A and B are shown apart, each in its own frame.
Chain A
Amino acid sequence: MPRRKNDVAITMDDVGMEIDAEYDSGSDVDSKRRAKGRNKPKPAARGKKAKPADSVEESEEEEEEEAPRKRKGRKKKEESEEESEEEQRGRRKKAAGTKKKKAAAKDDSEEESEEEKGNKRRGGKKGANKKEKEEENNKEKKGNGKAAGKGGKDKQDDKKNKGKNSSSSSSDDNSEDESMSEGEMARLKEDVEEKKKLIATLRNKPWRMKRRLKCLKEAQAFVEKFEGALGKGKGRRLYAFKVMMTKVLMGMPYGSIARKTVPREEQDSAMDFSVLFEFGGYCKYSIMFYGYYNYQRSIGLLQFRLPLSYLLVGLGIFGYSLMVVIRTMARNANEGGDGAEDGAFTFCWKLFTSWDFLIGNPETADNKFASTTTSFKESIVDEQENLKDENIHLQRFLRVLANLLILCCLGGSGYLIYYVVKRSQEFAKKDRNELSWLQKNEVEIVMSLLGLVCPPLFEVIAELENYHPRIALKWQLGRIFALFLGNLYTFLFALFDEVNAKLENEKEIKNETIWALKEYYANYTLYHNVTENIPPPNISPADVIRGPCWETEVGIEFVKLTVSDIQVTYLTILIGDFLRAVIVRFLNYCWCWDLEAGFPSYAEFDISGNVLGLIFNQGMIWMGAFYAPGLVGVNVLRLLSSMYYQCWAVMACNVPHERVFKASRSNNFYMGLLLLVLFLSLMPVVYTIMTLPPSFDCGPFSGKDQMYDVIMETIEKDLPPFMADIFSYASNPGLIMPAVLLMVLAIYYLNAVSKAYQNANMDLKRKMQMQRDEEKNRRNNKDSTNQVMKDLEDLLPNKSLIPPPSAEETEKPADQLSKSPKVTGKPGAAATGKGVHVQKDVSLAAANPRAPVTRPPGPRPPGPLPGNARGPPPGQGMGRGRGGPPPRR
């Protein structure tokens, strides 16, 4: 085990060296500066580029600690090295650039190779640089003038460095980069602290501003450089990541094998912008797409299984997304249920908690006023919604008509896309130079245009239906959803046709390749007279015959779609929002009517539409990510940039939506859509993984009949045999069917349980409501709320003094109808929305008009009961559990 570790460490170091050399080869570093740079703030010229080198060293140092064995072995050597540093330097210079596998010398050699490169490159420039350097040193001296102890030492070092032009420098400089002993570290720390203190107290120093600034800059640079080195710097992790990416995970670099190389005939145009823009050329053979990955079973020393992990990650993304979405939905559902019943306090909450006390901006405040007003109006409309009593037949006819129209739209758009995709496949067979830009991008343009035109069209059609705004919004969202999904799926089906054609094509090419290979072997045997150990044909990877690689093609289609979606979104915002806002704002000075309030006005920010766009974007990523892993990166960039961009657009050129009807109170409506999209985008991907054979010469699954063979292979070769047995049992249909059955039953049972709980909940709510009403009535008058009891009481002879309730009933509805008869009709509905219908009974009870209680409840005055005797007070006609029977409709 330790042996293995050692190995890993050593190779890592080697890699580090390579990377480093590459990194620094571009920077102009001369050896002197390099040596000095160890404990001096680096001159700005070096700046960033030097950093990786430092971090690498740092990490190596830490690695040493991690692998004590290695260290023990070389400790002695190091010590001797420190002593004879100068001689060694000279000697090593000759050997510079060559990799030394000996761990003991790795630091130096690395450094040296950099120096060498720097020297070679620079030559003439050196003189100038020296000057610059000296200036630097002078500054240093000034800056460190007042710094005690170490500062003085630094100065000395500087002098030394200035004096000698060679790379030899004082041994204590080097000891730091060889291996920082405890003492060195402590000293360095102290130093950093000192500089920090200097920065903090700089303001109090009686210096001229110029000097202060200079000093400050130097101190800051120093602290910046060494603080990172002392702490558990980021550098090490970055370095490890780099090593992992290059050596351990990616396998062979670009250009090593056919699938990672641009074919010869494409090479001329591979760097053209127009080609790259369509993700051809170098893009196509880069890590962005499926085809780049190699089928080699395990890579590097960690035995990283790329094909297996490719498949598992591809499927794992779906599993993880499903889990996240469902968990979120469950949490939302819980949140909705935990507090009061949803909507019990709609008006109260709106009244008392809708103002945001953090608002300090007049414009925001105006927006808030507007949105509060709209939300009140929304609630009022909700209340009055049931009052509408219109021609039901006309309504129905119009709704059917609207749905028909929309179905036509959907079908038409689907057909259009199918037609366009087919056409584009025709075009793809032609030479791409003959095609116009329009012909090349037809699919994307048509899809984007449909996405732009159809939603407003649906909105216009939806006017016919005359739904309540919230319901209308849901319909609208559902229709846009159907449109997008339909388009996406048509696109997919057309793509499948193409894939099948490619598969046919591929078979031929595969046969040809095999044929060619056989021929080659036969010829080789003929010429060299050997039958075994024939070296593989020596063809440059650019010239190898290759198949169409349908996976990469699919990936490219998705990336193109995403990119065109990004473009369209951004352009829409730029033109539809920004340009419009500019025109409205500035033409308003010289126009016949008020542009701001009148026709064009400013664009509204469409929340639900934007959310839907996000959902679809996510669906596209889910679908495409398996064939184009780079799509995820593209999407991250898109989301980041579009957040800031849209934020700017909203603040600068949009006005709040006039209808603030949210599609739902909880977010579960959108989460449900997201779940549906996830499921629908999961299906085609899993289908292709399960059924279509992978390409024979590209991607991590090449050479296998099916993609999931990777898993079988792992089970067979890597896991102990009993695991294979377990898996074979588990995949037996006899076991799967009962498991599915069990799950279905469990779902059924849980569903039933939740229904029962729901009923119990409703029951409790109803009881609470009843109790509340009862309580209210008992306070206001002694009357029972129960109609039967009331009737009974009426029948009793000694109650004849009470005026019959009918007198009130006649007088009340007139009062109430003027405001909102519906409220009287269903008093309970206001609170819960769904309506707890028991209240109907309650409201049938005698009117219990309430007036503000002006005195504490005490013994009742003699005479008739107060409630009834007082009659309805003005403006108080609509309390719950009171009032006459509902108007019979």
Chain B
Amino acid sequence: MRSDSQGDLRRTLSYFFLHCSLHGRYHELAPHLVPMDYTNDPDVKIPLALIVNMPELKENPFRNRIVESFSEDGQGNLSFNDFVDMFSVLSEMAPRELKAIFAFKIYVHSFRGYFNVDNYICNEDLEKTLNKLTKEELTPEEVNLVCEKAIEEADLDGDNKLSFADFENMISRAPDFLR
């Protein structure tokens, strides 16, 4: 009993502190834009260029896509809520399904809307992903081959592109995904 309530308290506290520190980080990114006082819920957004320079994202080849896919306007401008959202999804405590959804969003380069089932990963998306991942060191033939093999492997319904269902099916079996 006691330990339970303690655990609750600890969790609440840790959440609280996380929130505080996140706001600190957020503020740090653009001290001139972000007020420390959030009582009136001001409408502040930080542009992509600033966010991408965070140490967590700096080396990530998908950093632009990540930020874009978390921003409400799709342009990469993050409000504080978006920012918290991004951290919560990227944290290790986030459930697998959520991660799969956002991973899908990240890999679909021409993503429209928040999330809807009409989106597909098509060949160009794969090519872009691959080029980001290998710093364009593969020859065009190799890129083509890889993309086609990838679609061939994961495409269950045979429409030559990856729907979210295909993607989830594939990624849920991946040994490196969230383990």
Contact = CB atoms under 8 A, between A and B. Distances in A.
B126 interface: yes
B177 interface: yes
Contact of B158 (A351, A359, A775, A875): A775
A373 interface: yes
Interface string A354-373: 11010111101100010011
B133 interface: yes
Given A339-B175, A831-B153, A376 B146 contact: yes
Interface in B124-165: 126, 129-130, 133-135, 137-138, 141-142, 144-146, 148-150, 152-161
Contact of B59 (A345, A348, A352, A359): A359
The 3 A-B pairs at the shortest CB distance, nearest first, are namely A776-B158, A365-B59, A347-B150
Contact of A777 (B62, B126, B158): B158
Contact of B134 (A361, A369, A827, A880): A369
A80 interface: no
Q: Is the interface of A mostly helix, strand, loop or mixed?
A: helix
B174 A345 contact: yes
Contacts of B141: 819
9 contacts: A345-B174, A352-B171, A369-B133, A372-B133, A372-B134, A373-B135, A373-B137, A779-B159, A830-B152
Contacts of A772: 156, 158
A357 B135 contact: no
A782 to B, nearest CB: 14
Contacts of A346: 149, 153
A164 interface: no
B135 A776 contact: no
A852 B126 CA distance: 15
B103 interface: yes
A349 interface: yes
Contacts of B59: 359-362, 364-365
B56 interface: yes
A820 interface: yes
Interface string B89-121: 010000000000001000100000000000000
Nearest to A360: B55
B2 interface: no
B58 A360 contact: yes
Interface string A831-867: 1000000000000000000111100000000000000
Interface residues of B, number: 46
Contacts of B123: 875
Interface centre among A345, A351, A880 (most CB of B within 10 A): A351
B122 interface: yes
A376 B176 contact: no
Interface of B: 55-56, 58-62, 90, 103, 107, 122-123, 126, 129-130, 133-135, 137-138, 141-142, 144-146, 148-150, 152-161, 167, 170-171, 173-177
B130 A349 contact: no
A879 interface: yes
A380 interface: yes
A655 B55 CA distance: 24
Contact of A348 (B58, B133, B135, B154): B154
A876 interface: yes
B61 A819 contact: no
Interface of A: 339-340, 344-355, 357, 359-362, 364-365, 369, 372-373, 376-377, 379-380, 383, 772, 775-777, 779-780, 819-820, 823, 827, 830-831, 850-853, 875-876, 878-880
Nearest to B149: A347
Nearest to A850: B160
Contacts of B161: 852
Contact of A383 (B90, B133, B149): B149
Contacts of B130: 351, 376
B107 A352 contact: yes
Contacts of B135: 369, 373
A846 to B, nearest CB: 15
A353 B144 contact: no
B133 A347 contact: no
A373 B150 CA distance: 15
B138 A345 contact: no
Given A345-B174, A349-B170, A779-B157, 19 more contacts: A340-B173, A346-B153, A348-B170, A351-B129, A352-B167, A352-B170, A353-B177, A355-B61, A357-B90, A365-B59, A373-B138, A383-B145, A776-B155, A780-B158, A823-B145, A830-B149, A830-B153, A876-B160, A879-B160
Nearest to A665: B175
Contacts of B160: 850-853, 876, 879
A524 B119 CA distance: 105
Contact of B153 (A348, A780, A820, A850): A348
Contacts of A376: 130, 134, 138, 142, 146
Given A347-B153, A360-B58, A376-B134, A779 B142 contact: no
Contacts of A820: 145
A369 B130 CA distance: 11
Contacts of B153: 344-348, 830-831
Contacts of B167: 352
Contacts of A853: 159-160
Contact of B133 (A339, A351, A776, A780): A351
A366 to B, nearest CB: 9
A79 to B, nearest CB: 38
Contacts of B157: 775-776, 779
B149 A819 contact: no
B50 to A, nearest CB: 17
Nearest to B120: A852
Contacts of B122: 852
A380 B158 contact: no
A353 B133 CA distance: 10
Contacts of A373: 134-135, 137-138
Contacts of A819: 141, 144-145
Given A361-B59, A852-B161, A353 B149 contact: no
A377 B138 contact: yes
Contacts of B152: 827, 830-831, 878-880
A816 B56 CA distance: 42
A377 B142 CA distance: 8
Contacts of A852: 122, 159-161
Given A360-B58, A369-B133, A345 B154 contact: yes
Contacts of A380: 142, 145-146
Contacts of A339: 173, 175
B133 A355 contact: yes
Given A347-B146, A376-B146, A772-B156, A353 B171 contact: yes
Contact of B174 (A349, A360, A777, A827): A349
Nearest to B177: A353
A779 B158 CA distance: 7
A132 to B, nearest CB: 45
